[in-house]
Amino acid sequence: MANQFEVVVIGSGPAGYVAAIKAAQLGKKTAIIEKWVKKDGKTTWGGTCLNVGCIPSKALLQSSEMYAEANHGLDIHGIDVKSVKMDVSKMLARKDGIVDQLTTGIAGLLKGNGVTTLEGKGELKANKMVDVTKNDGSVETIQAENVILAMGSVPVDIPPTPLDGSVIVDSTGALEFPEVPKRLGVIGAGVIGLELGSVWSRLGSEVVVLEAMETFLAAADKAISKDAFKTFTKQGLDIRLGARVTGSKMKGKKVEVTFQDSEGEKTEVFDKLVVAVGRRPYTEGCLSTDCGVKLDERGFIFVDDQCRTTVPGVYAIGDVVRGPMLAHKGSEEGIMVAEIIAGHNAQMNYDAIPNVIYTHPEIAWVGKTEEELKADGVEYKSGAFPFAAIGRAQAANATDGQVKILADAKTDRVLGMHIFGMNASEMVAQGVIALEFASSAEDLQLTCFAHPTLSEAVHEAALAVDNMAIHKVNRKKR
């Protein structure tokens, strides 16, 4: 029957669209439902990541990085550039073009793989029936053998700073400022706050980041976050730790923000304010009360290690379930679930998911931090190597940062790789492979790395784990 499918996916972000393509590739009759309608009235595919997340933010980070490099980074090479100007509208148009190209590409991939696309809002009902409410208000009911819930997440807003879409905005608004704000406030020094703060700071904005926690990037290895904090501060990002925002008041076209730190109550006035205090799972109006799917205490859909919900045949993946809110984590869960539905054995390694922060330089890591190993009582060895001692980093004028590797003291197994430095996002894949293949530090030590490359810092850090680094004096004699 036309309205019966073996797999129905709700949500076409990187979790949902990957799950749908994989299910179709495995021979399942698959449909995907998406409710996101662009300003032009057309449905857009690819979710937060492609429309207002990973991709547009990286487009702006690239443009702003090139502008900053042209302004401040060329003199050292002997290149004299007289006047560097930024056309913000052209930068935004380039970003929008990339988003258009990629979201259209997803629509093409879904079609090319034989996935039926349904435009509207999906709601899971009892017995794996799904209602699709179309934009014209009509409702189509479809019957699914299996349902994959992939509704993603939305930005968290906080009462002290209600969004007005113009001066006080969320991450989406911060991708669209028509001109560089003179003074920009960012609430939250998490990944999104740091990335978007960096974009506008590089373009000339005076950026103040207000972060409630006393610790900078608490999830990262301390050696790396300390290094990064120093570098970002030197770059001009004014990061105030222990500063909890408690209120805001409009002052003409500006906003006055009140925050509390160890010295008491303070205020700052900004031209624009970005609220980047995290994201929450989105389930409103997506699950009927009798559908049987349960949420956990934080509002995420409750799932087991293989993304099974409390209803047999209903799975949930991506930002709407526990775990890091990362595109690649959702995509891998999508592949796993499609495989399980097709009757294959599939499991995901949640211990080898890379984290990246696309600042300059970048921060990237995989596996355990030193602080986590200490807390878990694991005996470990540690080796670090600075980019300043790497020839290629000197040639690229990219000497900030280091690679740090942690290995089990008894088995030598690599437990974590932490990088602060240029191209860390690419280099961390070496750590992911090391963790996936259960490599020892010795495996990395015995590997031949091309010279001159930034990745030589990975090799040297692995050697340093056993005090065998060549291009620095080791802490201990062997």
Chain residues binding ligand AMP by CB under 6 A are 158, 187-192, 210-213, 244-245, 276-278
380 binds, among ligand FAD, ligand AMP, none (CB under 5 to 8 A by kind): none
CB of 82 to ligand FAD, least distance (A): 34
Q: Contacting ligand FAD (CB under 6 A), which of 7, 8, 22, 36?
A: 36
Dihedral-angle region of residue 18 (phi above 0 means left; psi in -120 to 50 means alpha; beta otherwise): alpha
CB of 320 to ligand FAD, least distance (A): 6
Residues 105, 108: Cα–Cα separation, whole Å: 5
Is residue 325 involved in binding ligand FAD (CB under 6 A)? yes
Coil vs helix vs strand at 327 = helix
Cα 197 to Cα 69, 91, 192, 378, 424, distances in angstroms: 17, 16, 8, 36, 19
Say which residue the tokens 């991450």 belong to.
171
- Whether a cis peptide bond, with omega within 30° of 0, leads into 452 is yes
Query: 470 CB contacts (<8 Å, ≥6 apart)?
Result: 460, 463
CB of 48 to ligand AMP, least distance (A): 13
| Among 311, 472, 305, 317, CA closest to 402 | 472
Tally of CB atoms within 10 A around 414: 28
In the complex with ligand FAD, the residue whose CB is nearer, 34 or 339, is 34
Is residue 229 involved in binding ligand FAD (CB under 6 A)? no
Residues 321, 212: Cα–Cα separation, whole Å: 25
In the complex with ligand FAD, the residue whose CB is nearer, 193 or 386, is 193
Is residue 34 involved in binding ligand FAD (CB under 6 A)? yes
Dihedral-angle region of residue 393 (phi above 0 means left; psi in -120 to 50 means alpha; beta otherwise): alpha
- HSE at residue 405, side-chain half, CA atoms within 13 A, is 36
- What does the block give as tokens for 264? 């008491």
In the complex with ligand AMP, the residue whose CB is nearer, 292 or 324, is 324
CB of 317 to ligand AMP, least distance (A): 20
Q: Select which of 72, 77, 328, 451 is catalytic.
A: 451
278 binds, among ligand AMP, ligand FAD, none (CB under 5 to 8 A by kind): ligand AMP
Contacts with ligand FAD by CB under 6 A: the residue count is 35
- What does the block give as tokens for 228? 């990064």
CB of 194 to ligand AMP, least distance (A): 9
Is residue 60 involved in binding ligand FAD (CB under 6 A)? no
Residues in the chain: 478
428 binds, among ligand FAD, ligand AMP, none (CB under 5 to 8 A by kind): none
187 binds, among ligand AMP, ligand FAD, none (CB under 5 to 8 A by kind): ligand AMP
Contact by Cβ (8 Å): 74, 81:
yes
- What does the block give as tokens for 225? 């976050």
Helices 327-341/16-25 angle, 10° precision: 30
CB of 32 to ligand FAD, least distance (A): 9
Q: Contacting ligand FAD (CB under 6 A), which of 153, 205, 382, 430?
A: 153
In the complex with ligand FAD, the residue whose CB is nearer, 156 or 250, is 156
CB of 62 to ligand AMP, least distance (A): 21
Q: Cβ-closest residue to ligand AMP?
A: 190
Is residue 361 involved in binding ligand FAD (CB under 6 A)? no
Q: Determine the residue type at 140.
A: E
| Among 351, 477, 324, CA closest to 414 | 351
451 is catalytic: yes
Q: Contacting ligand FAD (CB under 6 A), which of 5, 7, 9, 13?
A: 13
Note the residues at the interface with ligand FAD (CB under 6 A): 10-16, 33-36, 47-49, 53-54, 57, 121-122, 150-153, 171, 192, 282, 286, 318-320, 325-328, 330
List active site positions. Answer: 451
